[in-house]
Amino acid sequence: MNDEQLYFFQDWFKHHLLTFQESDPLHQQSLDLKEEHTFRVCAAIDRIVSGLRLSENDHRIAVVTALFHDLGRFPQYQKYRTFRDPDSDNHAKLSLSELNRHHVLQPLDFSERQIISRAIFFHNRLRIPENQDQQTILHCRLIRDADKVDILRVMNEHFQIEESRRNPVITLGLGKERLVREEVYRLLFEGRTMSYTKLKTINELKVLQMSWVFDINFRPTFEILKEGNDIGKLAATLPDTVLLREALDFINDYIERRLQSE
C-alpha cells in the first residue's frame, strides 16, 4: 500500500459517513461518537505502531484497519438503532459487507486485503482464532489493543457527563443497579472476561472492560493505559468494595509486570 492509497481510504471514509446523517440530534450524536471513536483508534494505533518500530507498510495497513474496523456501526445503527450486536448483527461482519459492497479495498494486493479484512473480522471476538499467519495475528493484536484503550476512554467520558444527559447507547441499554456479581470479579482474577451476553448491569460492563487488560498485547498500549489511568478512573465510578480494591491491585500489578518484562 502506498501513501496515496491511504489518503484515498481516509477520504472515502469521510465522504461515506455523510450518507449516514440523522435528523434527530440524539441519533446523530450516537453516530458522532462512533466517528470520533474511529479517529481516536487511528491515533492510538499510530502511537502503538510507532513504539514498535514496524515497517511503513505495516503502519499503513494498521491505520486502514483502524479506519474501517467499526464501519459496520453506521449501517447497524441506521437499521437497528442499537450498538448491541446480540440484538442486531455482528458489527465486524457489517464492516466487511460495507467495504465489499463499495469495493473499497479493491486497489490493494490480495494479501493486504486479506490481512485487513481478517483483522477487522476478528477485532470484536473474545479471542483471535488459532491457525492465523503471523501478519494477520500482528494486525489483529494491534487493532484489538487500540480499540480497547479508546473504548475505556469513551466509557470514562460518558460517566463524567451528568446522568440525565448520558447517551444510553454507550452502555448497551444495561441495568443501572449498582450490584456487580462476585462471579464477574472471579473471572477477572482468572484473567478471563465475561461474555457480553451474560452481563446484567452497567457496573458489570465496567468490570468486564477492566479485565480487558489481560488481552493487551504491546508495551506501548500498556504505557497508554498507565498514562491515562483509564482503568483507575473507571474503577472510581464503581461501588468501593474489597473485591474492587483487590481487582485494581491485581490489574495494576499486572500492568507493571508487563511494562518491566517487555
The residues of the shown chain that bind Fe ion, judged by CB under 5 A, are 70, 124
Please identify, using beta-carbon distances, which residue of 70 and 204 lies nearer to Fe ion. 70
We find the least distance from the C-beta atom of residue 43 to Fe ion, in angstroms, to be: 16
Cell triple for 15: 465522504
Please identify, using beta-carbon distances, which residue of 32 and 243 lies nearer to Fe ion. 32
Closest residue by beta carbon to Fe ion: 70
- Angle made by CA atoms 148, 172, 67, in degrees to the nearest 5: 40
Residue type, 137: I
Residue 48 CA to residue 149 CA, distance in Å, equals 11
We find the least distance from the C-beta atom of residue 147 to Fe ion, in angstroms, to be: 6
We find the least distance from the C-beta atom of residue 245 to Fe ion, in angstroms, to be: 31
Please identify, using beta-carbon distances, which residue of 124 and 156 lies nearer to Fe ion. 124
We find the least distance from the C-beta atom of residue 56 to Fe ion, in angstroms, to be: 26
**83 beta partners:** none
Please identify, using beta-carbon distances, which residue of 1 and 66 lies nearer to Fe ion. 66
Cell triple for 33: 461518537
Site of grid cell 452502555? 171
We find the least distance from the C-beta atom of residue 69 to Fe ion, in angstroms, to be: 6
Please identify, using beta-carbon distances, which residue of 59 and 144 lies nearer to Fe ion. 144
Please identify, using beta-carbon distances, which residue of 66 and 180 lies nearer to Fe ion. 66
Burial of 245 (0-12, 13-18, 19+ CB in 10 A): exposed
Centre a 10 Å sphere on the Cβ of residue 144 and count the other Cβ atoms it contains.
22
Q: What is the DSSP letter of 81?
A: S
We find the least distance from the C-beta atom of residue 232 to Fe ion, in angstroms, to be: 24
> Which of 124, 108, 111, 26 is closest to 72 using CA atoms?
124
The helix (run of H) or strand (run of E) holding residue 168 is none
Residue 146 CA to residue 138 CA, distance in Å, equals 12
